[in-house]
Amino acid sequence: MTDIQSSGKMLQEANQPAHLSSENMTRRQRELYDKIKTYGSDRIWFLDQQIGDAEAQAISEALKVNTTLTQFGMGTNQIGDAGATAIAEALKVNGKLYWVELEDNQIGDAGAQAIAEALRVNTTLKYLILYANRIGDAGAQAIAEALKVNKTLTSLRLSKNQIGDAGAQAIAEALKVNTKLDMLNLNCNCIGKAGAQALNKAQSCRYKLEFELETQTTLVALCALPRPTTAEDAQSVFHLLMSGFQYHSEAGTNMQTSPHLPRLPAEVAELIMDAACYWPGVHVVEQSCHDPDEKPRPVTVTVPKSTGGNGSPFRVQVVQLLRDRREHTYFPRAIDWIIRDEHGAVRYKGAATPVAFDSTIEFVTMRAADHAHIRQMREGWQFEVQPGKAACYVRLESLFLGYI
């Protein structure tokens, strides 16, 4: 077993969903399971249906026994690694599906690695659509290894992910072995010169391969993206900052204790958390592959409904926008934003001046402590960033809304 396969196996085991049976299904899981299990047509799409990992697990169980579906899609949902792992298990045993769409979800490396394992044994799937997810090098490397043995997949769409040079080079090596794939889309990733050269060299020997590799963002931009945490971890760090951290060291037989981090006021602790975007939250990443003549869309995040046991609504703490634009392009400094209430009515609008991170990256941070309109946001309200006249030059746009 290779290092890639070994690490992939560990990630998959960590994301393996609990066993689902008819006794422990929720009402919605049961509805989805029953619908797909006995579905009589050859295609079904669940586009933008608020499907998460739990629902994907029920759908997976139904796909294992369905014998009529040949085309299946769950685009624009909230499927993460656990949900993708469940779907991958279905693909190992389903012998009918030849078209699967999982675009615009939250699938990362572990989910991609699980899907790669399914590709090793699946003999019917021809079209696999995974664009606009969170697949990085590890996921791409696992898929590349699977492509070396897969004999049926003809079309693979991996655009708008987070694949860099290492993933691209692995795919290039796979193309030297795989002769079945005739369409590969890697637009809007983070592939640099080394990865592009490897792919172009591999493609030159595959004249029938339709290959796309445009509008790559930078690795710096990817590293600068916020990493939302869980509510539990955020509270732990917040209380640690306020209570101080004691560092214990042993010298000889005497235990010495000295303060390593002073106790911080709550306001200062919140400033640190805001600066690091270390809050649970909603994170939307848009990678632009559109035509300059295509009308760009605003980027929007919505304050979710609290699911906590105490029933308290979320309090918005921070909104952060990050943009990565193409080199040597003029970009207006002001970024226009709109806040809408749960009915879509405009409550506030304004403009913010971004701070330059480097020559192509800029960001705006709006804290609730400094902006009353951020403090007033509640469940169902939306923060919307307008695209502006120079949107066609934006390679990546990240909008994060953090709350407690």
* Side chain identity, residue 82: A
Q: Is residue 40 part of a domain?
A: yes
From 152, 181, 216, the end of a domain falls on 216
Tally of domains within the chain: 2
Partnered with residue 157 across adjacent β-strands are 129, 185
State the pLDDT at residue 7.
44
Closest CA to 315 of 304, 326, 301, 327: 304
State the pLDDT at residue 289.
61
Q: Is residue 46 part of a domain?
A: yes
Same domain, 200 and 249: no
Same domain, 260 and 348: yes
Q: Which range of residues forms the domain containing residue 92?
A: 3-216
* pTM of structure: 0.74
State the pLDDT at residue 14.
46
Residue spans of the chain under pLDDT 70: 1-19, 22, 228, 245-260, 289-295, 307-311, 328-332, 389-390
Q: Is residue 34 part of a domain?
A: yes
Q: Is residue 221 part of a domain?
A: no
Same domain, 259 and 328: yes
Same domain, 163 and 141: yes
Same domain, 128 and 98: yes
Same domain, 245 and 385: yes
Q: Is residue 126 part of a domain?
A: yes
d(CA 171, CA 166): 9
State the pLDDT at residue 213.
93
Same domain, 275 and 293: yes
Same domain, 158 and 251: no
State the pLDDT at residue 247.
54
Q: How far apart are the first and last CA of the chain?
A: 43
From 216, 235, 255, the end of a domain falls on 216
Total H helices, total E strands in the chain: 12, 18
Contacts of residue 211, defined as CB under 8 A and 6 or more positions apart, other chains included, come to 184, 186, 199, 203
Residues 322-373 pLDDT 10s: 988 877 666 667 889 999 999 999 999 999 999 888 888 888 999 998 999 9
Same domain, 242 and 211: no
Q: Is residue 240 part of a domain?
A: yes
For residue 135, what are its two tokens? 């697949």
Same domain, 21 and 140: yes
CA angle 296, 302, 305 (to 5 degrees): 160
Same domain, 170 and 243: no
State the pLDDT at residue 10.
45
DSSP per-residue letters across 44-81: EE-TTS---HHHHHHHHHHHTT--S--EEE--SS---H
For residue 53, what are its two tokens? 């990992």
d(CA 66, CA 95): 9
Same domain, 276 and 320: yes
Q: Is residue 64 part of a domain?
A: yes
State the pLDDT at residue 267.
86
Query: For the domain that residue 383 is a member of, what is the CATH number?
Result: 2.60.120
b or e along 253-264 (b: 16 or more beta carbons within 10 Å of the residue's beta carbon)? eeeeeeeeeeeb
State the pLDDT at residue 231.
76
b or e along 65-91 (b: 16 or more beta carbons within 10 Å of the residue's beta carbon)? ebeebebbbbbbbebbbbbbbbbbbbb
Q: How far is CA 96 from CA 38, 42, 113, 172, 376, in A?
A: 14, 9, 22, 29, 51
Residues 112-122 pLDDT 10s: 999 999 999 99
Query: For the domain that residue 149 is a member of, what is the CATH number?
Result: 3.80.10.10
From 183, 216, 249, the end of a domain falls on 216
